[in-house]
Structure 1
Amino acid sequence: MNVRKATANEEMLLAYLISKASVTISEDWKINLLVASMDDGKMGSLSLYPEGIVSENHQFGGQISEYLFLDEDDVIVLASLYVDEKGRLFELDMWKTDYSPLSKLPF
């Protein structure tokens, strides 16, 4: 697993999804956020590790927001943001409807 800081575009997408979320996420969510690319055929999904803590002990809690956009090749992409069982950021799931690699994030 290659853990890293989120790119500026990834942070912008996460910020947008958090702004639309059905729950409140702390305003300092990105200060120590680490991410790891998921094995999803290069569609852009990320495991999220808030507070700089890389742990596999947290479990899926639920979806808090989603966003549909078109990739550069006009294929629909669904970005879904999930939290863990304690309400902390858990995963950014990206699903490109034709399963091809993502060309560009929307921001």
Structure 2
Amino acid sequence: MTERQLEDGEALILSVLLKRANDWNGGPVNLSALRVCDMDDGGMGSLRFVSGKNHPRYGRTVAEGWFKDLDGVPVALALFVDRDEDLFELDSWKVDFTPRLRLPQDETEVRDGPPSGN
């Protein structure tokens, strides 16, 4: 997998979800220093955080959110940490499983919780 930095919209999503992760104390996160790999998810935008671990494994979900894509279809978001409480994945999927068309441009677009159809 090819490593890269976060795009602006991805950094915005992560920033919002980190603020909502009340039961996770991973310390301050330098968004510009994070490296990610795109996951093979059909273009829905999921990311794996690069770590020095050989086989990091899902630990738990620490925050959820969603935003509306250009076509009005909700894009669900979930921030996962691994078993050591380090950032693991930013899961992103359109509820109709089509490719994501855009990233949010403003924090107010990233709504709390799972999609509600609003």
Q: TM-score w.r.t. structure 2 length?
A: 0.81
Unaligned runs of 5+ in 1: none
Unaligned runs of 5+ in 2: 106-118
Letter in 2 for 1:3: E
Aligned ranges for residues 12-27 of structure 1 at < 5 Å? Answer: 12-21=12-21, 22-27=23-28
Letter in 2 for 1:19: K
Q: Percent identity?
A: 36
Q: How many residues align?
A: 104
2:87 to 75, 86, 89: 89
Tell me the equivalent position of 1:76: 74
**C-alpha contact (below 8 Å) 1:47/1:90 kept by paired residues:** yes
C-alpha distance 86-29 of structure 1, shift in aligned 2 (>3 A): farther
1:38-65: CA deviations, max 9, x gaps? 000100000012xxx3544211100000
Root-mean-square deviation over aligned CA pairs: 1.4
Structure 1 distance, partners of 2:100, 2:24, is 27
Aligned ranges for residues 1-107 of structure 1 at < 5 Å? Answer: 1-21=1-21, 22-49=23-50, 53-107=51-105
Most deviating of 21-30 and 82-91: 21-30
**C-alpha contact (below 8 Å) 1:18/1:25 kept by paired residues:** no
Structure 2 distance, partners of 1:31, 1:85, is 24
Structure 2 distance, partners of 1:80, 1:63, is 7
After TM superposition, the runs of 4+ consecutive aligned structure 1 residues lying more than 2 A away are 28-32, 53-56
1:11 match: secondary structure: helix
Q: TM-score w.r.t. structure 1 length?
A: 0.89
